[in-house]
Structure 1
């Protein structure tokens, strides 16, 4: 039975199963009956008005969820930023997947709209279009008197003339030049350290006068990015609940040969289970084992996005520093509870079998979450039937879309507000003096603290310097002191005399952040004093990783002292992964020299630092072999283009895989092996554990599924042959080419197949 004919056979199967259940049903019959009953219950999926959909939303007891905006005021919201007036700057991606083949995705119908609540009743009533005629805009960030806007492939800075666009500056011409809509940079989070970070990206940005700085950072996440009270970043990818950093975000990315740096993009919450309120058969891999439960409900994250570390204070102490994660495929929002434990941040799900928010409306698609100026959580509901991009859309999901007409609606969008019942929330007033803005750095709502810091950094009022210095001296309340520290750094008003007292006090996070500001204050006149002080920190395991990350900055002034400190740290913390990786990060191009110096005093190859160095040296060797030749690029240009669009975002530009996403393609036995098996993987996908070059890759270390592209009309058999031939000749691979006839023959042999292959099935081909 083909899946597409399933809806025609439902009545007959239900009748047969009902008869079977009257007798003694087997567990398999009961599971089948449960599945069919669930499908019957949710056989239709009507488009609901905003009020009707709101009625189907269920939120944790003690909370209210209300509409803050809905169509026609907003359509297909995917990202937003609040300004200091409490207005929402909303990115509308109206062109996303109008149908199952993405017809019209290149239309200029995206917008950046400003939504305002003029009568202060909690619901937006005024819409001002700041920018329109955009193709699939993705992110927005307010800075100084302008707006950063991400419109692939560009990142623009657009000055504001009131609420109208002014002069444009191209910040990055390659911001989102590769990948598809699901796998391009986004987020534009203005973090505590005054840099702007992104998800699905390894770049960070900062405005210095009229100049834009672009630096390399860690590759993080897929859609959405957040920070905690200490400026540590949090992300996720579609099948992973929550990942995050243990250390300040601007460090540890200095060694391009180091693929995995301890303490960055760590798995914070390992439990990926979800609990939808309704059957969710309309997920891309719904036909695969364990994707859906017996009642056809999503079992684990498949579209996790929009992580938010809650810092709003309105919810109460039990919710402070909780991480909320949106799951549009399951029509829900998860709550996780985070905890600091030494270096690490660990987390657990808040509930055993339910969610913070869940809906029985299939078109409720929460794609991003924000804390508001009032401390409430704002939910961006794209309100779409189709949320899977055409690149990976399976025949199974196409059929689900047809059965319930999920291609509609295209003109809806909602923004919800979640707040405790009966708890008054007030909008802060930023129309205050510079000293008043400094006072707001201690506000209980983290959004308010962030905004106060940003306004001070943007305006640079001289009269704020004295109160900022006074606030920095008071470390009894460390969170406000942290904001004062980074505000002074952003205003170019920080010096070592201000930082030194923080380095000598006891709060570990404040001390770590103070160390993170040292590169901004280090100069010829104070370098000796700074190095002398840092040498006294080497016996403190709480500061040892940051010492390692600071070594490249110290080396510019006193190379022997920096090298001596590196040697001392390597001896004291040879079995500490975080310190070891910090030291390797500080020694780009000198990994072999560092390994030799370590083995000179301890030849134990089981030492963590030894093993980590050996791994980096192997990666360097592989990378040297993995250079793409001009001949391969010239022979397979279409294959290379498809690789950069579809494969590179998970498998890496050098084919050596990306941590937490996908295994290597370079020197993979699956790429270089039997043609038919490789074709089958690309046509239908691969699920479950897979061994590549002796290492087993499986969830949650990587995404558990690789989607196929055989059902995508955008790619012909000749295109797929070009892609596979390119992969088989790229980097260190050297296998024979694959032709479109080979692809056609495999399609014919596997005609009627819908689901992804397992390794066991592939080996039988």
Structure 2
């Protein structure tokens, strides 16, 4: 390190002499020397104990961090869930990136452990291995008499007896097929609506007796998922602070021709700024202008993950409903304040130029955040130096890892909790008493309410129905009523009579829940009552009800397609300028968009009308997809494998792009055009906006940068040529073949380049 610093210092002095002594040049040199001094300040990164690491944390006034578990009790944790008796079931991803080339990462060294607090002092003191020898496990979910375990590429359900797995059932053989470790489904979040949702996935799961239901849902997020009190999901991707849904997660995903639906994957917080406590040169693209500021600190999120909506009782009212987001690359946790207005949600960062929690310990790596039974905010700290996966690891970051010996340690890990100072809270105890469990549906702690609902459903005791219905009639707590309704739904006991009073509730949140639940009770005997009521709401121009009516229209169709069409046409005529209603209408028109457009425009020909514009887009996208059946995996097997592992998670298996992540490859002139430009993009990456056809794609609609793979030794020029030929001739694309020599020529031409290309550079490339 010393020799490197001396070399850079002499180089700067030499350049300074050569270019003269103008004031501007003196300032520029001064900045560079300041950067060197900052680097010298952080030229080492010592491994700290959990107690020492806490001392490096700067936390909002009035709070403190406490240790819940630490090594050797826990090793490389990435996720956990509490069970009903307060134990932690922890996912340990020990095999992740043992060095910069991922040596033996394909060896099954992960596990699921059970941590217990035997003496009741708040710290876990007992460890039991539930499952061992797992390949990079990533998520778990306790449900019924067992546990879901995500072990790429499969999703398994293990029945549990005496804390041991006794029966293994395959739930989904392709749960995490394709993608690399950073870009595979995770989360397994058991939501208010009794379905299990994931980040980086468009599937949801539900246990029904001994069967598992799998349904299509919206593609969401990257790592980590949470919900608010209304069951709306929140998530993010690595460069976006917070994304989320405005509507119940079960709505709006029924039309595969509709690539995005307004109100889902919505940017909730405008600012992606972060404020680290130390220089963060150890980020993957720290060499690029604008990634680090003058003090060498990260400017914007680059590894946002593990969001949680805090709904505990311990912090105080001003924190309830806040969104906390982890940023392991900058060693911090962000706090965002969310505000609700009808079905709209808007957010802002809690404070400028600071964070809720930030550390100067470079190995502090918060990867997931959780609510707890005691109202605390829990932090999963993987505690390690290498956090970036090898697929996109730049030579710059490899050098940073080497300079500060960040490879070790590999067997550390911590779980912390944040609590207010001088305020104690003990976890709620759950019993088998159904009266006590129903009472907990109104508890002040959201985690407790959700757990009580899940315990009641898992018990399967239908004798609780009278008690739940009594609560619905007598409770003055909207959240207790919400959980009681969804508990009845989870037990398959919900009726129209249970629901109907809440469809007219003056409480907008209860009304929202009633609409979301209506799909479970609409049937042949009662659908006309719902249609009549929905028509009245449309006639009254009820803006809050309108999108829900559109989302519910597919539930009417099995009993009367005419009634559904009438509802959708009336919604379009009444709310044709409303983006959310327009997209909700289209979501109920799978493969029937053309007739609707024809009928609707006959009396509403305004081409600028929102619903007409959105319909034309869906029709155009569907037309593009007609020939989207080409599979070149036989001709380009290596290319197909690489695409599925590293490209389709952002660009989609159909090549049409994924909202908030990446633009389309299908029908893209950048894919089918100049082969050298396409090679340059894949090798060295692309940053900034990109024009495809007549549309400019830019953040936040897409991620601001696509990483290159030139530095990844796993891919030869022949591999990359196969990948390029695969995407260049798949779907509706048709391009001439690219040879490995073509790829080599571009690699050699830009040898030593680290920064990604911009669109302007590519346009001027010769």
- TM-score, length basis structure 1: 0.97
**2:220 paired residue number:** 220
Matches of 1:548 and 1:6 in 2, distance apart?
64
**1:445 paired residue number:** 445
2:97 is the counterpart of 1:97: yes
2:570 is the counterpart of 1:572: no
**1:609 paired residue number:** 611
Change (3 A) 1:69 1:15: farther
Matches of 1:125 and 1:21 in 2, distance apart?
64
Change (3 A) 1:4 1:569: farther
Matches of 2:7 and 2:270 in 1, distance apart?
39
Mapping 1:84-123, distance limit 5 Å: 84-123=84-123
Q: Deviations over 1:43-101 (max 9, x none)?
A: 11122222221211121110010111110000110011001111111000001111111
**1:317 paired residue number:** 317
Mapping 1:583-594, distance limit 5 Å: 583-594=585-596
Change (3 A) 1:545 1:83: same
Mapping 1:4-19, distance limit 5 Å: 7=5, 9-12=7-10
Matches of 2:137 and 2:261 in 1, distance apart?
31
- TM-score, length basis structure 2: 0.97
Q: Tell me, what secondary structure is at the counterpart of 1:415?
A: strand
**2:370 paired residue number:** 370
**1:78 paired residue number:** 78
Q: CA RMSD in A?
A: 1.9
**1:242 paired residue number:** 242
Q: Tell me, what secondary structure is at the counterpart of 2:633?
A: helix
**1:204 paired residue number:** 204
Matches of 2:473 and 2:46 in 1, distance apart?
59
Change (3 A) 1:222 1:122: same
Matches of 1:445 and 1:17 in 2, distance apart?
62
Asked if structure 1 preserves the Cα contact closer than 8 Å seen for 2:76 and 2:92, the reply is: yes
Q: Deviations over 1:719-757 (max 9, x none)?
A: 011111112211222221111111222222112212212
Asked if structure 1 preserves the Cα contact closer than 8 Å seen for 2:9 and 2:33, the reply is: no
Q: 1:13 deviation in Å?
A: 5.4
Change (3 A) 1:107 1:474: same
Matches of 2:451 and 2:441 in 1, distance apart?
9
Q: 1:216 deviation in Å?
A: 0.4
Q: Tell me, what secondary structure is at the counterpart of 1:31?
A: helix
Asked if structure 2 preserves the Cα contact closer than 8 Å seen for 1:17 and 1:33, the reply is: no
**1:687 paired residue number:** 687
Change (3 A) 1:562 1:675: closer
**1:764 paired residue number:** 765
**1:170 paired residue number:** 170
2:267 is the counterpart of 1:267: yes
**Structure 2 counterpart of 1:562, from 544, 564, 567:** 564
Matches of 2:163 and 2:746 in 1, distance apart?
56
Which deviates the most, 739-748 or 604-613? Answer: 739-748
Matches of 2:422 and 2:16 in 1, distance apart?
48
Change (3 A) 1:680 1:231: same
Which deviates the most, 731-740 or 437-446? Answer: 731-740
Q: Deviations over 1:339-395 (max 9, x none)?
A: 012331100000100001101011111000011110101100001111111111111
Mapping 1:735-754, distance limit 5 Å: 735-754=735-754
Q: 1:302 deviation in Å?
A: 0.4
**Structure 2 counterpart of 1:550, from 529, 552, 556:** 552
**1:357 paired residue number:** 357
2:624 is the counterpart of 1:622: yes
Q: 1:31 deviation in Å?
A: 3.0
Matches of 1:623 and 1:334 in 2, distance apart?
40
Change (3 A) 1:43 1:169: same
**1:660 paired residue number:** 660
Q: Tell me, what secondary structure is at the counterpart of 2:275?
A: coil
Asked if structure 2 preserves the Cα contact closer than 8 Å seen for 1:474 and 1:481, the reply is: no
Matches of 2:123 and 2:248 in 1, distance apart?
37
**1:598 paired residue number:** 600
Asked if structure 2 preserves the Cα contact closer than 8 Å seen for 1:4 and 1:396, the reply is: no
Q: 1:553 deviation in Å?
A: 0.6
Q: 1:698 deviation in Å?
A: 1.8
Q: Tell me, what secondary structure is at the counterpart of 1:570?
A: helix
Q: 1:700 deviation in Å?
A: 2.2
Matches of 2:530 and 2:230 in 1, distance apart?
23
Q: 1:25 deviation in Å?
A: 6.2
Q: Deviations over 1:286-306 (max 9, x none)?
A: 111101111110000000000
Q: 1:16 deviation in Å?
A: 7.3
Mapping 1:245-324, distance limit 5 Å: 245-324=245-324
**Structure 1, unaligned runs of 5 or more:** none
Q: 1:21 deviation in Å?
A: 11
Q: Deviations over 1:98-119 (max 9, x none)?
A: 1111111111110101111111
2:539 is the counterpart of 1:541: no
Matches of 1:357 and 1:16 in 2, distance apart?
42
Mapping 1:57-76, distance limit 5 Å: 57-76=57-76
Q: Tell me, what secondary structure is at the counterpart of 2:602?
A: helix
Mapping 1:138-177, distance limit 5 Å: 138-177=138-177
Matches of 1:627 and 1:35 in 2, distance apart?
53
**1:529 paired residue number:** 529
Q: Deviations over 1:153-201 (max 9, x none)?
A: 1111101112111111110011001111011000000000000000000
Asked if structure 1 preserves the Cα contact closer than 8 Å seen for 2:75 and 2:412, the reply is: yes
Matches of 2:417 and 2:21 in 1, distance apart?
45
Q: Deviations over 1:563-606 (max 9, x none)?
A: 21111111100001111111101111110111111111111000
Q: Deviations over 1:202-246 (max 9, x none)?
A: 000000100100000000000000000000000100000001110
Matches of 1:17 and 1:81 in 2, distance apart?
56
Which deviates the most, 314-323 or 551-560? Answer: 551-560
**2:712 paired residue number:** 712
Asked if structure 1 preserves the Cα contact closer than 8 Å seen for 2:196 and 2:205, the reply is: yes
Asked if structure 1 preserves the Cα contact closer than 8 Å seen for 2:275 and 2:298, the reply is: yes
Matches of 2:472 and 2:16 in 1, distance apart?
71
Asked if structure 2 preserves the Cα contact closer than 8 Å seen for 1:434 and 1:463, the reply is: no
Asked if structure 2 preserves the Cα contact closer than 8 Å seen for 1:729 and 1:735, the reply is: yes
Q: 1:5 deviation in Å?
A: 9.3
Matches of 1:196 and 1:311 in 2, distance apart?
19
Matches of 1:208 and 1:677 in 2, distance apart?
51
Matches of 1:382 and 1:496 in 2, distance apart?
47
Asked if structure 2 preserves the Cα contact closer than 8 Å seen for 1:18 and 1:33, the reply is: no
Q: 1:37 deviation in Å?
A: 2.0
